[in-house]
């Protein structure tokens, strides 16, 4: 129930609609009960036992007999004036009108429920999407992509169909049940007390099946996450799967997981589909018992209820069955959706490890230096990736990080924009710890070009202009593309800068994708550049042109360059050699060659490559 309430808190934003829904539901219930009350004189006429009082009785709303006598008086008066058939016709019109109003108000209640149901699901999706962008990169390193996608798609859909579809039952059916039981108590307290003993027994039986349904639903949602993971990995690695003739084994793995999911869903539907017949059977059982017990009361000589009133009583009680059945189905749906709610909360309640302090300072400019001080870092508290790193980067200088793969170069770059936070030590910009700076301001100072070109299924223009809130001119985009040596191939595309580049830029070559990434960083025009193997995907000619463009762009900028190709960083203001998480060597290119250390060995290996 706590999980359900956590989702239903989203309804607060739609309290106006919720009020209108409840209001019209109350009206629908009132007119439903009123229509049954009008049946009483009709039944009396059919039974031909209508007793017409000599005079109009004083109406007492708290006395059932007073209400019945007044009904009989007015219906009897109509019979004497218009005759039984015409009276029956008029009463039938009244019943028809009451049912029309009942269903009109029921529709209006559902009309105002629609924005709540769909709005809550929309808000839930928005919050999950926003949270997924706020969560640290380490969160996604530990999770399967497919499982995260499953939570944001199929689990949200499950909440929509299982829980949001039950809102109607939550808002309407309890009103109908409470109002009907109140009227039944009014008509016959003893008979209704007997009914109230029977209903909890059937509710207990239904509840036991609901618990089992939740467990099966949880397993099925986890299995769907595995299926989506396999699909995502298959599409991403299709070239390798085909190249290594692994289609058969991959298909076998998918079929096994898919069959397991199918078996779980069969069990789940069988349990869920038990709700309707079980609740209907239990309801009919209660009606039969009431018919027997109530019949005994009617046939007794001193009964306060006549046959017509008893039939109306049964009619009103039958109106409890459908709401009770709907609540039962809703309970099953909620139990089924509760597993999805827990999986959704896994994202919404995930800790934001990279948190912004409440008193974080704004910083729009970079004026002095970046300092790494006694920095240590490890992933998931494992082996130290960085150990006691001390490094000062002055404004306008280009610092190159080199070394063997896995030494910690990219980790040093990732710590600067706070993709991760260090275990100990600090990084400061102009003397301010980066943890004390507004995160958007911190990252706004930086332009990043990664080793893997991260592009989106959008136009060339929108990929280059990514993240620039203000409207950017086409001339600025073209200028950035020219610096990145991308303008020429963009112009040759079918729609130029408005051409779509496909998922992850698959319509482009590796070198073209990298040049778009560089153009994106150029357009942002930040004071600090982070280049992680920025030219690694370029051919020799493009590398020469882009490297020259990057060197021009980096003038009067602070740049942190990670490079395996040492030829691209020979003119850096300082070269820092990272080996096994430590700074092993540092200095200028020529100085490091004379040291005859790690740098010279790397340089010699590339010279003969």
Output the DSSP codes for 57-96. Answer: PPP-TT-HHHHHHHHHHHHHHHHHHH-HHHHHHHHHHHHH
| pLDDT at 199 (0 to 100) | 66
| Residues 342 and 377 grouped into a single domain | no
Confidence of residue 336 (pLDDT cuts 50, 70, 90): low
Confidence of residue 39 (pLDDT cuts 50, 70, 90): low
CA 227 to chain centroid: 19
CA gap 267, 575 in Å, rounded: 63
Segment holding 579, helix H or strand E: strand 574-579
Expressed as residue numbers, the domain containing 389 is 369-607
Quick check: is 364 in a domain?
A: no
| Residues 297 and 376 grouped into a single domain | no
| Residues 318 and 452 grouped into a single domain | no
Beta carbons within 8 Å of 224's beta carbon, 6+ residues apart: 150, 154, 261
| pLDDT at 208 (0 to 100) | 62
Quick check: is 363 in a domain?
A: no
Segment holding 532, helix H or strand E: strand 528-532
| Residues 293 and 416 grouped into a single domain | no
For residue 537, pLDDT beyond 60:
no
- Compute the Cα dihedral for 380, 385, 390, 393 and give only its sign: negative
**E strands along 92-203, which residues?**
none
pTM assigned to the model: 0.66
CA gap 559, 192 in Å, rounded: 81
| Residues 307 and 381 grouped into a single domain | no
* 446 bridge partner residues: 528
Quick check: is 17 in a domain?
A: yes
Bigger pLDDT: 607 or 272?
272
Quick check: is 360 in a domain?
A: no
CA gap 77, 71 in Å, rounded: 10
For residue 429, pLDDT beyond 90:
yes
| pLDDT at 115 (0 to 100) | 86
| Residues 323 and 427 grouped into a single domain | no
CA gap 368, 74 in Å, rounded: 95
| Residues 327 and 444 grouped into a single domain | no
Residue 297's domain is classified under what CATH number? Answer: 1.20.1560.10
Task: Average the pLDDT over each of 37-41, 63-67, 480-484 and give the range with the smallest value.
Answer: 63-67
Quick check: is 362 in a domain?
A: no
| pLDDT at 222 (0 to 100) | 77
* DSSP code, position 362: P
Q: Are 179 and 274 in contact, with CB atoms under 8 Å apart?
A: no
| Residues 570 and 502 grouped into a single domain | yes
Burial class (CB in 10 A: 0-12, 13-18, 19+), 469: exposed
Phi, psi of 57, deg, nearest 5: -85, 155
Domain final residue, candidates 319, 348, 377: 348
CA gap 408, 422 in Å, rounded: 13
For residue 573, pLDDT beyond 80:
yes
3-state DSSP assignment of residue 554: coil
CA gap 181, 531 in Å, rounded: 72
For residue 206, pLDDT beyond 70:
no
Distances (CA, A) of 604 to 24, 368, 521: 83, 36, 32
Mean predicted confidence (pLDDT) in 204-232: 71
Beta carbons within 8 Å of 260's beta carbon, 6+ residues apart: 223
Q: Are 18 and 11 in contact, with CB atoms under 8 Å apart?
A: yes
3-state DSSP assignment of residue 526: coil
Highest mean pLDDT pick, 100-109, 196-205, 246-255, 276-285: 100-109
| Residues 115 and 240 grouped into a single domain | yes
CA gap 460, 455 in Å, rounded: 9
Quick check: is 448 in a domain?
A: yes
Give the Cβ contact number of residue 323 at 10 Å: 21
Residue 442's domain is classified under what CATH number? Answer: 3.40.50.300
| Residues 334 and 385 grouped into a single domain | no
Domain total for the chain? 2
| Residues 324 and 402 grouped into a single domain | no
What the block records as the tokens of 117 is 């149901």
Distances (CA, A) of 43 to 72, 348, 356: 11, 58, 73
Confidence of residue 539 (pLDDT cuts 50, 70, 90): low
Highest mean pLDDT pick, 356-365, 511-520, 532-541: 356-365
Quick check: is 361 in a domain?
A: no
For residue 155, pLDDT beyond 90:
no
Mean predicted confidence (pLDDT) in 489-500: 89
For residue 552, pLDDT beyond 70:
no
What the block records as the tokens of 33 is 């009960």
For residue 484, pLDDT beyond 60:
yes
Q: Are 89 and 83 in contact, with CB atoms under 8 Å apart?
A: no
Instruction: Give the residue from 572, 581, 460, 582 showing the smallest Cα distance to 523.
Output: 460
Phi, psi of 142, deg, nearest 5: -95, -10
| Residues 404 and 461 grouped into a single domain | yes
Instruction: For residue range 378-412, list pLDDT tens digits in order.
Output: 887 777 888 888 999 998 888 989 888 888 888 88
Quick check: is 354 in a domain?
A: no
Q: Are 227 and 257 in contact, with CB atoms under 8 Å apart?
A: yes
Phi, psi of 346, deg, nearest 5: -60, -30
Q: How many CA atoms lie within 13 A of 229 on its CB side?
A: 15
Dihedral, CA of residue 132, residue 133, residue 134 and residue 138, to nearest 10: 70
β-pairing, 528-532 vs 446-449, is: parallel
Confidence of residue 609 (pLDDT cuts 50, 70, 90): very low
* Helix residue spans in 83-188 (DSSP H): 84-134, 137-142, 145-152, 154-162, 167-187
Q: Strand 574-579: give its sheet, edge to edge.
A: 446-449, 528-532, 558-562, 398-402, 574-579, 582-587
Instruction: For residue range 62-94, list pLDDT tens digits in order.
Output: 555 666 666 666 666 776 677 767 777 777 788
Q: How open is the CA angle 209-213-216, to the nearest 5 degrees?
A: 140
């Amino acid at each position: 129930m706590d999980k359900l309430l956590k989702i239903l808190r989203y309804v607060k934003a739609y309290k106006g609609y919720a009020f209108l829904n409840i209001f019209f539901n109350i009206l629908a219930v009132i007119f439903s009960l009123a229509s049954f009350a009008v049946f009483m004189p009709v039944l009396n006429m059919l039974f031909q036992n209508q007793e017409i009082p000599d005079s109009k009785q004083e109406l007492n709303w708290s006395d059932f007999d007073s209400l019945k006598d007044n009904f009989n008086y007015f219906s009897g008066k109509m019979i004497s004036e218009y005759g039984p058939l015409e009276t029956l016709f008029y009463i039938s019109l009244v019943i028809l009108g009451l049912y029309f109003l009942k269903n009109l108000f029921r529709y209006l209640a559902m009309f105002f429920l629609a924005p709540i149901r769909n709005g809550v699901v929309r808000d839930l999706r928005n919050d999950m999407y926003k949270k997924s962008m706020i969560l640290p990169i380490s969160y996604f390193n530990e999770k399967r992509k497919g499982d995260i996608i499953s939570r944001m798609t199929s689990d949200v859909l499950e909440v929509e169909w299982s829980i949001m579809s039950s809102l109607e039952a939550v808002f309407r059916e309890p009103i109908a049940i409470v109002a009907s039981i109140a009227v039944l108590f009014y008509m016959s307290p003893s008979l209704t007390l007997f009914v109230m003993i029977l209903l909890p027994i059937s509710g207990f039986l239904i509840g036991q099946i609901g618990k089992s349904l939740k467990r099966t639903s949880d397993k099925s949602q986890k299995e769907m996450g595995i299926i989506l993971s396999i699909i995502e990995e298959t599409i991403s690695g299709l070239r390798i799967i085909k190249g290594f003739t692994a289609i058969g084994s991959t298909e076998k793995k998918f079929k096994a997981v898919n069959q397991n999911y199918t078996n779980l869903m069969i069990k789940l539907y069988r349990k869920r589909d038990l709700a309707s017949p079980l609740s209907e059977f239990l309801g009919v059982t209660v009606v039969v018992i009431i018919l027997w017990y109530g019949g005994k009361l009617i046939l007794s000589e001193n009964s306060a209820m006549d046959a017509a009133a008893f039939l109306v009583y049964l009619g009103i009680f039958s109106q409890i069955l459908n709401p009770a059945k709907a609540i039962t189905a809703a309970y099953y749906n909620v139990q089924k959706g509760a597993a999805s709610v827990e999986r959704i909360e896994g994202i919404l309640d995930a800790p934001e490890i990279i948190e912004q302090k409440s008193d974080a300072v704004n910083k729009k400019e970079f004026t002095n230096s970046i300092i790494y001080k006694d920095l240590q870092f490890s992933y998931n508290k494992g082996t130290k990736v960085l150990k006691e790193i001390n490094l000062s980067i002055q404004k306008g200088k280009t610092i190159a990080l080199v070394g063997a793969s896995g030494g910690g170069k990219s980790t040093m770059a990732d710590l600067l924009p706070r993709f991760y936070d260090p275990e100990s030590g600090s990084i400061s910009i102009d003397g301010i710890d980066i943890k004390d700076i507004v995160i958007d301001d911190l990252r706004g100072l930086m332009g990043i070009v990664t080793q893997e070109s991260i592009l989106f299924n959008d136009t060339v223009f929108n990929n280059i202009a990514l993240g620039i809130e203000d409207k950017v001119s086409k001339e600025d985009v073209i200028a950035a593309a020219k610096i990145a040596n991308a303008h020429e191939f963009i112009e040759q595309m079918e729609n130029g800068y408005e051409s779509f580049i496909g998922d992850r830029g698959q319509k482009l070559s590796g070198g073209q994708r990298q040049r778009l990434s560089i153009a994106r960083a150029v357009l942002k025009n930040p004071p600090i550049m982070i280049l992680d193997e920025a030219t690694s995907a370029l051919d020799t000619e493009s590398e020469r042109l882009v490297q020259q463009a990057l060197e021009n762009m980096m003038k009067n900028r602070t740049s942190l360059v990670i490079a395996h190709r040492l030829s691209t960083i020979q003119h850096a203001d300082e070269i820092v050699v990272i080996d096994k998480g430590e700074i092993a060597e540092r200095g200028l290119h020529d100085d490091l060659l004379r040291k005859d250390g790690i740098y010279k060995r790397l340089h010699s290996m590339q010279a003969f490559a």
